[in-house]
């Protein structure tokens, strides 16, 4: 591993654990070069990767700072379920079903193998009716604060979007027949059609979270449009 890659990894570590929180200024290049014992050009190369990923931003005369979550999320948008339901004119409800360490059944690719995991299941409601069953893994190496967070008051969907940076998102959409858990929580018959969104986020090479979001097929739809219709 090159020196700049090691420095970039340490910078990611500090951003992820909010040693350098969102909106804060990074130390000057001279300070970082002295700390890591390298030339300023090596520091610039490490920072350039973080700038490209949208995790930090450089401003002339203002230095380099960690990108604010709202600005970062505008590049790679992950919807907040509560906002979707409220925008539809319905009343939003939320219920935490389970939160426990361990479990990797969702990880079919093995990306989270050997990582310490937090497994969370919760339910989003629209006017009291089940709207989305959220089944999620969080990598505690990437998000250590999640281990002690109480998700009774805010869904992991909303908390992660607001608190945790990410540099890559992969989303899969599909229809499937409801299994026992989906049927129980969505209050539909086993085998009924459900619309599923699977999403994984990463921070550089580090997997952050993997989630499977299931919806009753008659309650959920996706609309896309150009600005012409705004």
In a domain, 222, yes or no: no
93 and 197 belong to one structural domain: yes
CA distances from 199 to 57, 170, 225 (A): 26, 6, 21
Q: Strand, coil or helix: what is 189?
A: coil
Q: Can you give the CATH number for the domain in which 143 is found?
A: 3.40.1410.10
Stretch (H or E) spanning 9: helix 3-16
pLDDT of residue 1: 66
User: Are residues 56 and 117 both part of a single domain?
Assistant: no
Q: Which residues are bridge partners to 215 per DSSP?
A: 195
Q: So what's the pLDDT on residue 209?
A: 92
Sequence-distant (≥ 6) Cβ neighbours of residue 98 within 8 angstroms: 119, 120, 121
Per the structure, the count of domains in the chain is 2
Q: Of 12, 33, 66, which residue sits at a domain end?
A: 66
Report residue 90 as tokens.
């319905």
Same domain, 15 and 90: no
Task: Give the pLDDT of the chain (230 residues) as one tens digit per residue.
Answer: 688 888 888 888 788 777 888 788 889 889 999 999 999 898 888 888 888 777 788 887 678 888 765 544 444 568 889 998 998 899 999 999 999 988 777 777 788 888 889 999 999 999 999 999 999 999 988 888 898 899 999 999 999 988 777 778 889 999 999 999 999 999 999 999 999 999 999 887 788 999 999 999 887 777 666 555 55
Beta strand ranges found along 102-159 (DSSP E): 117-126, 129-139
CATH of the domain at 53: 1.10.10.10
What predicted TM-score, i.e. pTM, was given to this entire model?
A: 0.71
3-class secondary structure, 31 = helix
Rounded alpha-carbon distances, angstroms, from residue 76 to 59, 115, 168, 203: 21, 24, 8, 12
Q: Is residue 52 part of a domain?
A: yes
Q: Would residue 228 count as lying in a domain?
A: no
Segments forming the whole domain that contains residue 170: 81-216
Instruction: In whole angstroms, give the CA distance from residue 92 to residue 74.
Output: 23
């Amino acid at each position: 591993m090159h020196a700049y890659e090691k420095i970039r990894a340490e910078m990611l570590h500090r951003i992820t654990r909010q040693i350098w929180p969102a909106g804060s200024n990074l130390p000057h290049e001279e300070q970082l070069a002295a700390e890591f014992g390298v030339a300023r050009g090596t520091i610039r190369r490490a920072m350039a990767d973080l700038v490209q990923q949208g995790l930090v931003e450089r401003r002339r005369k203002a230095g380099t700072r960690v990108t604010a979550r709202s600005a970062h999320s505008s590049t790679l948008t992950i919807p907040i379920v509560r906002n979707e339901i409220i925008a539809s004119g319905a009343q939003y409800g939320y219920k935490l079903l389970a939160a426990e360490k361990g479990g990797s059944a969702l990880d079919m690719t093995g990306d989270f193998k050997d990582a310490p995991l937090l497994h969370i299941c919760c339910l989003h409601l629209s006017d009291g009716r089940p709207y989305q069953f959220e089944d999620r893994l969080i990598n505690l190496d990437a998000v250590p604060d999640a281990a002690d967070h109480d998700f009774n008051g805010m869904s992991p969907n909303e908390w992660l979007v607001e608190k945790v940076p990410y540099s890559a998102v992969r989303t899969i959409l599909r229809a499937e027949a409801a299994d026992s858990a989906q049927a129980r929580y969505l209050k539909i018959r086993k085998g009924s059609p459900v619309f599923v969104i699977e999403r994984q986020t990463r921070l550089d090479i580090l997997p952050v979270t993997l989630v499977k979001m299931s919806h009753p097929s008659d309650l959920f739809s996706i609309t896309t449009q150009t600005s012409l219709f705004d």
